[in-house]
Amino acid sequence: MISVIGSGLGSLVAGFGLLTIKNVIMIAVGCALLYLGIKKDYEPLLLVPIGFGALLVNIPLGDMMAPGGLLRYFYDSGVLTEIFPCLIFVGIGAMTDFGPLLENPKILLLGAAGQFGIFLTLALALLLGFSKLDAVAVGVIGACDGPTAIYVTSKYAPHLLGAVSVAAYSYMSLVPLIQPPIMRALTTEKERKIRMQYPHKSVSQTLKIIFPIGVTLITCIIAPKGTPLMGMIMLGNLMRESGVVSRLTKASENEIANIVTLLLGLSIGATMEGAAFLKPQTLIVLGLGLIAICLDTVAGVLFGKLMCFLTKGKINPLIGAAGISAYPMAARVAQMEGRKYDKHNFLLMHAMGANTGGQIGSVIAAAVMLSVLKGMGII
Amino acid sequence: MDNFTFGFTITLVGMGGTLLTMWVLTLFVDVLKKFFPYRENQETGGEKS
């Protein structure tokens, strides 16, 4: 009788005995993510579920990621099948207004330059000894686009999913700290003061409706491996602009996006189990992710300077930094930097154009990369 | 394929391919703007003459 009571009591403290130092560290990391999300307001919609997922998966005997575990179901059915990132993209498409971009389509090119960090970081990762597919996953952090990074990583380097996702979302929220020093270092005060004209003409609704259909057809035929991502973001945008399915549009940008964000965040947190996550490779991935976003900014600003030169000073190079996918943060950073040097300089709409171009650019860059990999026989 | 060849190819073709695709999109939007110009009376729902 006493031995039965003893074993019953023992089972209540067994978890403490099985708690490893790695579990404790990862619980602390989870708490740090919760702190950043709740107290500092850094991407709370994602950092809160990711942080809590990291807590849950590091509780011994909780078996959250064991076969049949709750988080294992979320992960297998939503992340491994690519459903979550694609559904998030429907919501992003439904929320995005491409109007500023359509008014000045040349700005789309800044959205391409803002992706160069992906490829440069990929090359750097290869130099550091990462395998080809791991390097692809690390490079895609430079897309500055969580769903794209998750899509590519879960498909080709699932063991890096936790590190890549945390890097992508953390650095996205740190864009206001990362970008300004680079923008100031690469531009002159005269360039930062350039005022850009606002086009007098607006964009017709017909154009806004045809745009997502055309973009889907053109980009998916050029880079078919990106069809799931580009198709979903443009479907969301078509629903928004057509105005005939407002119920679906509202559901996409609210209920669906919210539910999927919760499940996606928990699933990412679930990949942060101590034994799998705490490796030197994780630190290198985090470091390379930071480099990727810095390189994106450098390439965007330098391309902005080139466009400034070619247009004889009509483009403010600061908006080049907004050619990444961190929407709308990167656009706000460009606007704030411009106003520091000229209080009456309003770059926001142009920067928004570059920023939405960056959203399209990040998906195209990932699609081009996957299609080239397919062509080379790597995937 | 060795890592150098792979890295060089993917970097060059990736950046070039992304830029080229985005350039094609700018041309596409320019063409669309010519075919579907903004007409204030239609867009604002004003009375048609």
Q: What pLDDT digit, counting tens, does each position of A15-71 carry?
A: 888 899 999 999 999 999 999 889 988 888 888 999 999 999 999 999 999 999 999
Q: How many Cβ atoms from other residues are within 10 Å of residue A90's Cβ?
A: 25
Chain B, window 1-49: residues with a beta carbon less than 8 angstroms from a chain A beta carbon: 1, 3-4, 6-11, 13-15, 17-19, 21-26, 28-30, 32-33, 36-40, 42-43
Do residues A26 and A277 make contact, with C-beta atoms less than 8 angstroms apart? Answer: yes
- Rounded Cα–Cα distance for residues A241 and A234 (Å): 10
- For B9, which residue in chain A has the nearest alpha carbon? A372
Per-residue pLDDT averaged across A204-218, rounded?
95
Chain B positions touching A364 (Cβ under 8 A) are: 18, 21-22
* This prediction's pTM: 0.88
Do residues A329 and A175 make contact, with C-beta atoms less than 8 angstroms apart? Answer: yes
- The answer to whether the Cβ–Cβ distance between A108 and B18 falls below 8 Å is no
- The answer to whether the Cβ–Cβ distance between A368 and B42 falls below 8 Å is no
Residue A150 has pLDDT above 70, yes or no: yes
The minimum CA-CA distance between A68 and chain B, rounded to whole Å, is 39
Encode burial over A203-240: b for 16+ CB neighbours within 10 A, e otherwise: bbebbbbbbbebbbebbbebbebbebbbbbbbbbbbbb
ipTM for the assembly = 0.87
Do residues A367 and A219 make contact, with C-beta atoms less than 8 angstroms apart? Answer: yes
Task: Considering only the beta carbons, identify the residue of B23, B32, B40 that sits closest to A109.
Answer: B23
* Residue matched to tokens 């080379």: A376
- Rounded Cα–Cα distance for residues A90 and A97 (Å): 13
Predicted pLDDT of residue B47: 43
Mean pLDDT across chain A, nearest whole number? Answer: 92
Which residues, 6 or more positions from A3, have their beta carbon under 8 angstroms from its beta carbon? none
- The answer to whether the Cβ–Cβ distance between B19 and A112 falls below 8 Å is yes
H or E element: which one contains A34?
helix A21-38
Predicted pLDDT of residue A200: 66
Closest CA to A139 of A296, A354, A371: A296
Q: Is B1 helix (H, G, I), strand (E, B) or coil?
A: coil
Residue B48 has pLDDT above 60, yes or no: no
